[in-house]
C-alpha cells in the first residue's frame, strides 16, 4: 500500500508539472500572438497616417478634417493596444479616406479656347456655382485653358478689357472632358454727338454789346465721392493681378499712434467667453480707430457648442500687459505681429520665435499672407473651400516701414486679399477674421460693420 501511494503521488506530481509546462507554453504563445497583433496595429496606424498626410499634399482641396481628427483620437487606443476597438475605428477611417479619394478621382475637365473670332486672347476666367466663386484660371497666350472640377453644374465667366463680359453655363460629368468655346465680342463704343453751335440771337436794342467776361479755367475734377483718403483712413478700389477690390485701409504711423491688442476677457477663456463691439474696444482704450481681431468660435455656429466665443490664438493684451493663450499648446507656429518695448513693429513667421521676447502688444492669426513684400500664401495654408473660393469681406494686419496697416477688403477670397496687401506695398501681413465678424472703426463711426461682437480686437491710440 505504501509503495502504491508513493507511485500515485509521483504520478500526480508529474502530471501537475506537465500541465503547468503546457500552460506556460500556451501563455507564451498567447503573449506572442498579442505582441504580433499590437505590432500589426501600430504598423497599420502608421501606414494610414502616412497615406493621409500624402493625400493632404496631393489633394489639398479635399476636406480631410474628420479623418485627421479621428486619427488623433485613435492614437491613445493604439498605444494601449486596444485591438478590437482600434482596428474597427481604423478600418472606418480607411474606408472614409478611400471613398473621398475615389470621388475626387472622378473629376472632369473643362477645356476650351478664348477667341476674338480666330485670334486667341488671354483672359481671366471665373467658375461659379449658384452665383458663388468656385475657382479662377487664366487662358494662355494661345487662348487655351483647362480646369479640373467635380461633377456638377457651373457657370463660366470671362472678363477682358475692351470686350463684353462672357457668361455661359456648363456641366461636368464624372471623369469626362467638357469643351467650351469662349467667343468674345468687342464692346461697341458710341461716339458722343457733336454739340451744335448755338444760333446767335438778334439784338433788340442798338446798345453796344458788352464785352463778355472771360470764362475761368475749370479746376481739376475731384476724385469720385467713393474714393476717400485723409492720410489715415482711405477707401479705394485697389488694382491687383487678380482684379480690382474695394479696400478700407487704416495707415497708422507709430510715431504718432500706439497699437494695442485687447481682449474682452482678462484671462484665458475656453467657453462662454465675454464679447463686445469694436466701438466699445476703441472707446474703452481711448482710441481713435480699430479693426476686428483673430478668428473665433461665435455662438451662432452649432459646432461651437462648448467653446462659445473662444479663440486659441496667442495674444499679448496691451491694456493688461498680459499673455493670453500663451501656454495652450495651440497655434505655436502661426505668424505673430508685435510691437516691441521700443515701440517698433516686428513680424515673425512663427509665434514660437517671439514667445520669450519683451513686447508692448502682439497678435497671432492665420494664414501668413506677405513676407518681404511678396505673397507667401499657399493653397495648403487655407483650411476650407470657404477660404479658397468664397468672395467675402477679409481683414488683415500688416507692417510697412514704421507704420501699421489695417485693412478690410470687400468681395475677396483670402488669396485675393493677399494680393491687395502686395499691391499696397506692405512688408509683412497676416490674415485676420472676416465675414460676419468684419468691422473697421475710425473717426467715431463704423466704416465697415459693426458685425458680430468680438472677443478681441486691435485698437490704435493717439500718443
Query: What per-residue confidence (pLDDT) applies to 161?
Result: 80
CB 405 within 8 A of CB 424: yes
Query: What per-residue confidence (pLDDT) applies to 39?
Result: 79
CB 366 within 8 A of CB 378: no
Fold annotation for 108-183? Immunoglobulin-like (2.60.40)
DSSP secondary-structure letter at 150?
Answer: -
Please provide residue 167's backbone torsions phi and psi, each rounded to the nearest 5 degrees: -145, 130
DSSP secondary-structure letter at 320?
Answer: T
Query: What per-residue confidence (pLDDT) applies to 358?
Result: 93
Query: Could you tell me if residue 337 is left (phi over 0), alpha (psi between -120 and 50 degrees) or otherwise beta?
Result: beta
Cell of 298: 461665435
Write the CB contacts of 247 (distance below 8 Å, at least 6 apart in sequence).
235, 236, 237, 238, 407, 408, 409, 410, 420, 424
Confidence of residue 194 (pLDDT cuts 50, 70, 90): very low
Range among 45-59, 161-175, 196-210 rated most confident: 45-59
* pLDDT tens figures, 305-320: 899 999 999 999 999 9
Task: Count Cα atoms within 13 angstroms, Cβ side, for 365.
Answer: 25
* This prediction's pTM: 0.53
Domain ranges of the chain: 2-105, 108-183, 228-462
- Of the two residues 194 and 292, the one the predictor is more confident about is 292
Cell of 359: 513686447
- Of the two residues 153 and 104, the one the predictor is more confident about is 153
Helices (H) and strands (E) in the chain, counts: 6, 26
Query: What per-residue confidence (pLDDT) applies to 272?
Result: 92
Confidence of residue 1 (pLDDT cuts 50, 70, 90): low
Q: Is the pLDDT of residue 244 over 60?
A: yes
Query: What per-residue confidence (pLDDT) applies to 404?
Result: 97
Q: Is the pLDDT of residue 193 over 80?
A: no
Query: What per-residue confidence (pLDDT) applies to 86?
Result: 85
Of 75-79, 177-181, 218-222, 349-353, least confident by mean pLDDT is 218-222
Partnered with residue 247 across adjacent β-strands are 236, 409
Query: What per-residue confidence (pLDDT) applies to 23?
Result: 66
- Of the two residues 203 and 413, the one the predictor is more confident about is 413
- What is the DSSP secondary-structure string of 2-43? HHHHHHHHHHHHHHHHHHHHHHHHHHHHHHHHHHHHHHHHHH
* Gyration radius (Cα) of the chain, Å: 34
Closest CA to 432 of 405, 382, 388, 395: 395
Query: What per-residue confidence (pLDDT) applies to 166?
Result: 81
Query: What per-residue confidence (pLDDT) applies to 29?
Result: 67
Query: What per-residue confidence (pLDDT) applies to 215?
Result: 37
Q: Is the pLDDT of residue 5 over 70?
A: no
Give the pLDDT mean for 314-339: 94
DSSP secondary-structure letter at 91?
Answer: H
Q: What is the four-CA torsion angle of 64, 70, 73, 77, rounded to 10 degrees?
A: -140
* pLDDT tens figures, 9-21: 666 666 666 666 6
Q: Is the pLDDT of residue 217 over 70?
A: no
**CA-to-CA distance for 160 and 124, rounded, in angstroms?**
7
Q: Is the pLDDT of residue 133 over 90?
A: no
Amino acid at each position: 500500500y505504501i509503495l502504491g501511494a508513493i507511485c500515485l503521488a509521483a504520478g500526480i506530481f508529474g502530471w501537475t508539472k506537465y500541465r503547468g509546462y503546457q500552460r506556460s507554453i500556451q501563455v507564451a504563445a498567447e503573449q506572442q500572438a498579442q505582441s504580433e497583433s499590437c505590432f500589426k496595429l501600430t504598423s497599420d496606424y502608421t501606414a494610414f497616417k502616412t497615406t493621409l498626410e500624402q493625400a493632404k499634399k496631393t489633394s489639398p482641396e479635399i476636406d480631410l478634417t474628420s479623418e485627421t481628427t479621428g486619427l488623433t483620437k485613435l492614437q491613445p487606443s493604439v498605444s494601449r493596444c486596444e485591438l478590437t476597438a482600434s482596428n474597427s475605428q481604423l478600418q472606418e477611417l480607411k474606408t472614409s479616406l478611400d471613398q473621398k479619394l475615389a470621388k475626387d478621382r472622378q473629376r472632369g475637365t473643362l477645356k476650351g479656347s478664348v477667341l476674338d473670332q480666330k485670334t486667341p486672347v488671354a483672359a481671366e476666367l471665373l467658375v461659379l456655382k449658384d452665383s458663388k466663386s468656385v475657382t479662377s484660371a487664366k487662358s494662355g497666350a494661345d487662348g487655351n485653358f483647362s480646369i479640373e472640377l467635380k461633377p456638377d453644374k457651373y457657370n463660366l465667366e470671362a472678363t477682358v478689357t475692351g470686350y463684353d463680359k462672357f457668361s455661359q453655363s456648363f456641366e461636368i460629368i464624372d471623369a469626362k472632358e467638357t469643351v467650351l468655346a469662349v467667343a468674345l465680342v468687342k464692346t461697341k463704343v458710341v461716339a458722343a454727338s457733336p454739340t451744335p453751335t448755338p444760333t446767335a440771337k438778334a439784338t433788340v436794342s442798338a446798345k453796344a454789346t458788352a464785352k463778355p467776361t472771360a470764362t475761368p479755367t475749370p479746376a481739376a475734377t475731384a476724385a469720385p465721392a467713393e474714393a476717400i483718403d485723409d492720410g489715415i483712413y482711405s477707401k479705394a478700389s485697389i488694382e491687383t493681378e487678380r482684379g480690382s477690390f474695394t479696400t478700407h485701409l487704416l495707415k497708422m504711423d507709430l510715431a504718432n499712434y500706439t497699437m494695442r491688442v485687447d481682449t474682452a476677457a482678462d484671462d484665458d477663456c475656453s467657453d462662454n467667453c465675454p464679447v463686445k463691439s469694436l466701438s466699445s474696444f476703441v472707446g474703452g482704450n481711448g482710441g481713435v480707430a480699430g479693426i476686428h481681431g483673430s478668428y473665433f468660435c461665435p455662438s451662432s455656429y452649432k459646432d461651437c457648442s462648448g467653446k462659445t466665443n473662444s479663440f486659441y490664438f496667442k495674444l499679448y493684451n496691451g491694456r493688461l500687459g498680459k499673455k493670453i493663450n500663451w501656454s495652450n499648446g495651440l497655434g505655436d507656429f502661426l505668424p505673430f505681429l508685435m510691437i516691441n518695448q521700443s515701440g517698433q513693429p516686428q513680424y515673425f513667421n512663427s509665434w514660437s520665435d517671439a514667445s520669450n521676447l519683451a513686447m508692448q502688444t502682439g497678435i497671432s492669426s492665420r494664414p501668413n499672407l506677405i513676407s518681404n513684400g511678396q505673397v507667401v500664401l499657399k493653397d495648403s495654408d487655407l483650411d476650407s473651400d470657404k477660404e479658397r473660393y468664397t468672395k467675402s469681406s477679409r481683414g488683415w494686419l500688416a507692417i510697412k516701414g514704421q507704420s501699421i496697416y489695417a485693412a478690410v477688403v470687400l468681395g475677396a477670397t483670402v488669396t485675393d486679399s493677399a494680393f491687395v496687401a502686395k499691391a499696397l506695398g506692405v512688408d509683412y501681413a497676416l490674415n485676420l477674421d472676416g465675414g460676419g465678424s468684419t468691422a473697421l472703426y475710425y473717426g467715431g463711426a463704423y466704416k465697415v460693420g459693426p458685425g458680430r461682437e468680438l472677443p478681441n480686437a486691435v485698437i490704435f491710440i493717439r500718443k
